[in-house]
Each structure stands twice: as C-alpha cells, then as structure tokens.
Chain A
Amino acid sequence: MNPWPFVAVAYAVMLGCTAVLAIVSYLAMKRAER
C-alpha cells in the first residue's frame, strides 16, 4: 500500500481546517470590531 496518499490527505485536512478556522475567526473579529 502506497503510504503517501494517506500522508498527503492527513496534512491537507489538518492544514486546511486550521486555515479555515483562523480565517473564520479573523473575519468574525473584524466584523464585530467594525
């Protein structure tokens, strides 16, 4: 079994979800502080 697709998907999920969380938190903060 080729391990790289599993590694790539795990990193993509982790980094993608963290980025979305950071962007959503930033936009919510900016909207509230306006």
Chain B
Amino acid sequence: MNVSLPNFHALANPARFLKIARPLTPVLFWTGVLLIAIGCWAGLTQTPPDYLQGETVRILYIHVPAAWLGMGGWSGIALSSIALLVWRHPLAAVAARAIALPGAVFAALCLVTGSIWGRPTWGTWWQWDGRLTSMLLLFFVYCAYMALARADADRGGDGRIPALFGLAGTVLLPVIRYSVIWWNTLHQGPSIGLTRSTIDGAILWPLPIMVAGFSFLFGAIVLMRMRGLLAVAKAEARMRRMARI
C-alpha cells in the first residue's frame, strides 16, 4: 500500500524545513510573549475572584496551559513517531527529540503549579489522586524517553526504538484525561470542554489567550531545538567526511 502525504513530505528536506523555520521562529516567539503578557495582565488584574476559591483561582491561567502542553507535547512525540515508523520521515526523530524536553518541563510545571494551587485550596501540597499520579507518570515517561532517544542517537540508531516507546506512552493520555471520572478523589472533574465550560465567562476569558501564548512559545522553542539538533548533525556528518579523507 502506498501511503503518501505530499505536503507533509515537502518538509522532509532539512534545507527546505530550515528555510521555513528560520523566519517562523521569531514570529512564534514574539507572538507568544505578547499573548502571555496580555494574559498575565488580564488574569491578575481584570478578572473577579472566584466565589469559592477567591484569588487562588488565578493560578488556573498558568496551570491549564502547562497541563495542555505537557499532554500536547506527548501527542507531538506520538505523531512524530508515526511519521518515522510509517513514512520514514527524516525530520520526525529530530522533531520528537526536540519536543521531549519542553514537554517534560511543562508536565513538571503542571505538577508544581497544581501543588501550589492545592495547598490553599485542598489544604495539602500533594495527594496520590488519579489525575496527579497519572501526570507524574507522564513526567517520568518523558524522562525515560529522553534517555532512550539520547542513547539511540549516540549509538547511531535509526530512531525506531524511541518511536515505539513514544507510541506506547500514548496510552497515558486518555488515562490522564479520564482519571477524574474513573477515580473521583481530590482533583475536580472536567470543567473545560471544547464547546462548553462550567467556569463563568467572566473568569474564563483570559485562559484561551494564555493557552495560545504558551503554545506559540512552545512552538518557537521546539523549532529552536530542531534547528540546533540539525546543525549538530550537519557538523558531525562533515567531521566524519573529513576523517575519511
């Protein structure tokens, strides 16, 4: 069976990818910074306190983007893994390696900001709750993926073993998503959906701005890391060629 994606494969050439990535990086970066600045101003000064949680509800505007990017990062690794295993896309392994560190950082930030939010709200920094524990597992899986991808790259591997691990780790995403339904312990149930939310609009409106801002910044960071990894690979290839002469 011939499975092809013409536009997707247009980026298979690293030179063509770099031609797009170089101007795109500062655009994503500065758009992200601007949106985050607007979101912080709105979230800290323009929204009312929650009737139950008071001012601590403002942690929502950073906790949700961190959770979104922690899980979204792993979705990116899974898509890159599919691209590598099915189409042997030459940039897929680079993309997955570039996503792993920012994904792990945002998964950790989700845990830390959640813990800071939990202390005044629940009266505890940590609880072995379904949502918290599954998110912690995702962070550990990120760490394992980074170690595996590094070892594979050092041995000159083709990236298939980390790609298989990347696909296997995808199992955690629905577990995190539905953990608050399957194990109803401390973390609140789902309050934000694609079409509706149980949070009042007066409090909710800065959240999409923050999610978009951090997503743009995440994209810029991934592009910077991809450009760095490609430059290192190019330099190593040049040194190997020179060693042969």
Contacts and interface: CB of A to CB of B under 8 A. Distances in A.
Interface of A: 1, 3-4, 6-7, 9-11, 13-15, 17-18, 21-22, 25-26, 28-29, 31-33
Contact of B112 (A3, A4, A13, A28): A13
Most buried by A among B214, B229, B231: B231
Contacts of A13: 109, 112-113, 116
Contacts of A28: 224-225, 228
Contacts of A22: 29, 217, 220-221, 224
Given A6-B116, A6-B120, A32-B231, A18 B55 contact: no
A20 to B, nearest CB: 9
Given A18-B109, A29-B225, 15 more contacts: A6-B117, A9-B116, A11-B40, A14-B109, A15-B36, A17-B108, A18-B105, A21-B221, A22-B29, A22-B221, A25-B102, A25-B225, A26-B224, A28-B228, A31-B228
Given A7-B55, A13-B116, A21-B105, A33 B62 contact: no
Contacts of A25: 102, 221, 224-225, 228
Contacts of A10: 59, 62-63, 112-113, 116-117
Given A14-B62, A22-B220, A33-B228, A3 B55 contact: yes
Interface residues of B, number: 35
B109 A17 contact: yes
Contacts of B56: 3, 6-7
8 contacts: A6-B120, A11-B59, A15-B40, A15-B62, A18-B214, A26-B224, A28-B225, A28-B228
A29 B63 CA distance: 28
Interface of B: 29, 36, 40, 44, 54-56, 58-59, 62-63, 66, 101-102, 105, 108-109, 112-113, 116-117, 119-120, 214, 217, 220-221, 224-225, 227-229, 231-232, 235
Nearest to B110: A14
Given A3-B55, A3-B56, A9-B116, A17 B105 contact: yes
